[in-house]
């Protein structure tokens, strides 16, 4: 199965209009290969500015979070419909920071994933284990528990429209990175776990690696058979470094 390579930028709560302008100017000037998709996920206030400034058809805009509700008295929340109204195409769901800092359960992540799909957005569903969980040998158990509510909520067509991102919590923003072999082994487990529910969907879904991906290690990581790109944090705030990753061969 030929899956697209996805290079997704998660700016987290960083950036400003100056970065929006610098990043779009740099990306507007390059050719993104047809077998690759670049996604920029800025803080919500900059979604409109990025959408307007982006002129590269190979670059899509994504949100960092969404509500499981369509509308209502949910002060501070943003719905999938609102993101769609801004021409947003992707949205990150269940990032480890949302799970740990805001107590988002895997069941809530599944509901948010369904809400995104219902409005035609592509959810980037994040899963990953802590350093302690890995050291205890619980990586596959943790990943299964995070995946199962999503697998139980979606039908085959919906599941094929999801992007998953494996982000070992111990490697996010720490400078630590799983070796390419370690990351591939975990990605293979994730694909096999999805295949136990739906073989076709498992072949179709892109699984990204997220954990201190940068210009120095992305090539080795992306070369692995079950790693379909990266969810990139710190390096996505550096225009020239991120542009280099976007031009990955």
Binding residues for substrate: 10-12, 173, 212, 233-234
**Cα dihedral 207, 211, 213, 219 sign:** negative
CA distance 170 to 115: 29
Respond yes or no: is residue 167 known to be catalytic. Answer: yes
Cβ neighbour number for residue 196 with a 10 Å cutoff: 10
Provide the annotated binding site.
10-12, 173, 212, 233-234
CA distance 233 to 242: 10
Contacts of residue 177, defined as CB under 8 A and 6 or more positions apart, other chains included, come to 171, 211, 212, 213, 217, 221
CA distance 26 to 29: 6
Reduce the DSSP state of residue 199 to 3 states and report it. helix
Respond yes or no: is residue 192 known to be catalytic. Answer: no
Which of 68, 95, 104, 187 is the catalytic position? 95
Which of 97, 104, 129, 167 is the catalytic position? 167
CA distance 108 to 244: 35
Contacts of residue 131, defined as CB under 8 A and 6 or more positions apart, other chains included, come to 168, 169, 170
CA distance 24 to 50: 7
Contacts of residue 74, defined as CB under 8 A and 6 or more positions apart, other chains included, come to 67
- Catalytic annotation, residues: 95, 167
């Amino acid at each position: 199965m030929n899956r697209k390579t996805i290079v997704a930028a998660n700016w987290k709560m960083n950036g400003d209009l100056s970065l929006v302008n610098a990043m779009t100017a740099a990306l507007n000037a390059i050719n993104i290969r047809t077998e690759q998709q670049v996604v920029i996920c800025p803080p919500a206030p900059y979604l409109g500015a990025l959408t307007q400034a982006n002129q590269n058809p190979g670059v899509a805009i994504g949100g960092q979070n969404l509500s499981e509700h369509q509308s209502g008295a949910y002060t501070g929340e943003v719905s999938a419909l609102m993101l769609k109204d801004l021409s947003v195409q992707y949205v990150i769901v269940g990032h480890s920071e949302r799970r740990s800092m805001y107590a988002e359960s895997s069941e809530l992540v599944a509901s948010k994933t369904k809400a995104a799909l219902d409005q035609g957005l592509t959810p980037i569903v994040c899963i990953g284990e802590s350093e302690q969980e890995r050291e205890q040998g619980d990586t596959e158990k943790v990943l299964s528990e995070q995946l199962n509510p999503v697998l139980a909520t979606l039908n085959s067509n919906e599941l094929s429209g999801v992007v998953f991102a494996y982000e070992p919590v111990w490697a996010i923003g720490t400078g630590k990175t799983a070796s390419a072999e370690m990351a591939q082994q975990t990605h293979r487990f994730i694909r096999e776990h999805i295949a136990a529910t739906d073989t076709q969907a498992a072949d179709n879904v892109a699984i990204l690696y997220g954990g201190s991906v940068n210009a120095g290690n992305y090539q080795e990581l992306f070369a692995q058979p079950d790693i379909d790109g990266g969810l990139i944090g710190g390096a996505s705030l550096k225009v020239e470094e991120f542009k280099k990753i976007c031009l990955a061969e």
